[in-house]
A and B are shown apart, each in its own frame.
Chain A
Amino acid sequence: MKKIITVILIIYFQLFLSCEKFPPGDVESEAPNNPPNTTLANIPMNGATLYALVNFNWDGEDDDGYIDYYQYRYTTEYLFQSDDDTGSYYFTSTDTSGQLVTTWWKIDSTMIREWQSLTETNAVIAFNSLAVLNHQLFEVRAVDNSGNVDESPATLSFYTKQTQFPETEITSPLNNSDFLAKPEVDDWYKGIPITFTANDPDGNITEYAWRVDGGEWNWTTDTSVIIPPTAWAEPLEDEHIITVISRDDTYLIDPIGDSIEVEIYVPTFEKDILILDGTIEDASLPDFDGLITDEITDSAYFEIFGGNRGDLIVDDRDFARRRFPNFRTIRKYKMIVWVKDHFATVPYFAEESKNLQAYLHVGGKLVMIGSNIMQSFMDNSYYLSAPCEPCIVYPSKFSSGGWNWFMNKILHVNYGFVSDLIGNFNSAEGLNHYSGLEIRPDTAKIANIWPNYNKLSNIDVIIEQGGFTVPILKLNSDDDYVNQETCGIRYYGSGFDVIYIGAPIWHMESEDAKALGEKILEDMGF
């Protein structure tokens, strides 16, 4: 046992004596830090002719550290074709006769870009390619954690063809369009919408930019925007210029763009009421005897809606003949009273619905009274595709989109229908803050209505009203189908107010019509 221990101790002693400094060599001085090296992937190939948007991949190595970041740059030589058989670059091809043809290109000018730093090992680069043919020299180099730069960057030489500018077009509004606008946004008024498109003959559009009145460019990827009131130059009520440009994937910007001029009107509300007479005094008027003239009905409406009060400025306009007034005119009125006594449908009501919506969204008020209004605001396409009388049958749903949007979004009816052609209007009775009112038809005016029921027909009945809307009139009728249903509603808007009564007013007892008119005026703040 002792012998074994002695042998082990001797071995340990020998090992101790054989020890030298580890690691061998001089550790007193630091070895120099070597620069990194960089390698480019072999796609695209050297000498290729490419579209100006090129994807590169590269890698770097550092034996005594790690790669901190990379830098790349490119040099563009703008080339032009030379007739001489000298030049910097040439291409060979074979013509139809089998002869070898050489095309020489000379350098017109050269542009060297600054080094760009990045940490990624790939990049998609749009090369400046303004000449017919452009020679590009791409260089990339690694920088290590000690700040050493690869002294021999990886390079790739190739050609790019001339890139073409994108072309931009404003699709709406049309040039010289008019708008109603107000200086601030709210729930309803957001600004003036524009839509545009662009085309790039040799690539893709990546961005659009719009500006008004020569102001700052606003870049976006959307093709429709709403220009807020703050964007316009002062004064808001003026002619303004909208310009749109686009940028393609090689960063070329449409140098011209598209411009339109628009006229903006701001509401003044200096007058009170404009009565739009939508009645057509013809055989579609109940009990039309040939003696009912436009003057007769105009005079009646004028009186009902405060024309004789003295404190109100009330005008009227024959809507059936002159249509909706332009924005320059309508901006002066606080409220529109739109009346229609004949029960036939009037498809051209719908044609004016967008103008009416624009007026309401800047703070106007609307009173709409008449029979068969629901059917008059159908979109033309629906009216033509489904000719019917009446089309709006129980229970018709009015949705916020599609042909019947006006009934839903403006008149605030979710469900409703037009009552039968057979007379079914005995009277209308006030509800809520209209309680106490009773609207009865004038028996003299409805004496001989076809088919001799002596009652008004085509009453608009509201089964379900929209939000913030209350019933103000209900129908008394012998027809159980419509009896006690709502035929008048009041909408309390956050931006505009509406009263909608689905029965004609000129045909009512004059005292009842006046009382209703006075109540409506009071309710709307007059």
Chain B
Amino acid sequence: MNRLASKLLFILSILFLFSCSLSEPVEFYSPDAGFLQVFIKSDDLDTDINIFGVDYNISNQDSMDLLVYQGKAYDLDSNYAILYKNIKSWRQEEFVYNILDWSNNEGYRSFKIYESHVPPGNYNLITVGLIASVINVGPYRIPISLPQDVDGVRPIPVNFSISERGVSRINLSIKPFESMSRYQDTYVFDRMIEVESVEYFGQDMYDQIIMESDSLAL
């Protein structure tokens, strides 16, 4: 009887162990992506530049074309997601924004430079290609170059997370005039840029972005 009970117990144990492996492991679950938005806006406090003793305040006539390209978001393991202009973009492209677009009532205009699917997780860095070629201020038209041996792609450390079907928004602030220092006949563009804030939105915003994307051209 004891021998029979032992055999029965052994068979039940084997069956129990097998039954454990029948459920789906957690790591096999693939979550939906979230959205990462990146906005850039000139600092509203940086509105004038002195050229040869003359202060030139920002005006509607001024312009500075900032060329934005090659954005990426890096997670804690240095894996990266490529950032696109919008969620329907299928390749990275260059876009130009006049970061001196000024309104006396609202200050500098803010530009959404990326809106992209990104896997959920924790991130600590984005990189953005930022170069400019010319600034028009007052009566001047002055060429711009990056400092010698500086890469056009600028790393911007920022801790943020992406949640499933959530929206994370990074607001960047750039100082267009303070970033400039003169060398010979050009301004050297030091790209003083900082993360102004990181905002998080829920699925309502996620759905809204998808809805608005219907109007975007492929």
A binds B: yes
Given contacts A492-B51, A492-B52, A468 and B139 within 8 Å (CB-CB): no
Q: Is the CB of B139 within 8 A of A467?
A: no
Complex Cα spacing A72 to B211, Å: 77
Residues of A within 8 A of B183 (CB): 187, 494
Q: Is B185's beta carbon under 8 Å from chain A? A: yes
Q: Which of A412, A432, A464, A471 contacts B185 (CB 8 A)?
A: A412
Q: Which of A444-465 contact B (CB under 8 A)?
A: 464-465
Proximity string of chain B (179-216) to chain A, C-beta cutoff 8 Å, 1 when within and 0 when not: 00011111100000000000000000000000000000
Q: Which of A419-470 contact B (CB under 8 A)?
A: 431-432, 464-470
Q: Which of B140, B141, B142 contacts A464 (CB 8 A)?
A: B141
Q: Is B143's beta carbon under 8 Å from chain A? A: yes
What is the CB-to-nearest-CB distance from A361 to chain B, in angstroms, rounded to a whole number?
11
Complex Cα spacing A432 to B51, Å: 14
Contact residues of A: prevailing secondary structure: loop
Q: Which of A412, A471, A494 contacts B182 (CB 8 A)?
A: A494
Q: Is A188's beta carbon under 8 Å from chain B? A: yes
Q: Which of A187, A432, A468 contacts B142 (CB 8 A)?
A: A468
Q: Which of A431, A468, A494 contacts B140 (CB 8 A)?
A: A468
Complex Cα spacing A464 to B139, Å: 12
Of B140, B143, B185, most buried by chain A (CB within 10 Å of CB) is B185
What is the CB-to-nearest-CB distance from B94 to chain A, in angstroms, rounded to a whole number?
23
What is the CB-to-nearest-CB distance from A487 to chain B, in angstroms, rounded to a whole number?
15
Residues of A within 8 A of B185 (CB): 412, 466-468, 493
Complex Cα spacing A468 to B137, Å: 10
Residues of B within 8 A of A187 (CB): 182-184
Complex Cα spacing A471 to B167, Å: 49
**B138 — nearest CB in chain A belongs to which residue?**
A470
Given contacts A187-B183, A412-B185, A494-B184, A467 and B51 within 8 Å (CB-CB): no
Complex Cα spacing A187 to B143, Å: 16
Of B141, B183, B187, most buried by chain A (CB within 10 Å of CB) is B141
Residues of A within 8 A of B184 (CB): 187-188, 494
Residues of B within 8 A of A467 (CB): 140-143, 185-187
What is the CB-to-nearest-CB distance from A316 to chain B, in angstroms, rounded to a whole number?
30
What is the CB-to-nearest-CB distance from A136 to chain B, in angstroms, rounded to a whole number?
45
Residues of B within 8 A of A493 (CB): 185
Of A188, A467, A492, most buried by chain B (CB within 10 Å of CB) is A467
Q: Which of A483-526 contact B (CB under 8 A)?
A: 492-494
The 5 closest A-B pairs by CB, nearest first: A467-B185, A470-B139, A467-B142, A187-B184, A492-B52
- Residue pairs across A and B with Cβ atoms less than 8 A apart, 25 shown, are A187-B182, A187-B184, A188-B184, A412-B185, A431-B139, A465-B141, A466-B143, A467-B140, A467-B142, A467-B185, A467-B186, A467-B187, A468-B51, A468-B140, A468-B142, A468-B182, A469-B141, A470-B139, A470-B140, A471-B139, A492-B51, A492-B52, A494-B182, A494-B183, A494-B184
Chain B positions near chain A (C-beta within 8 angstroms): 51-52, 139-143, 182-187
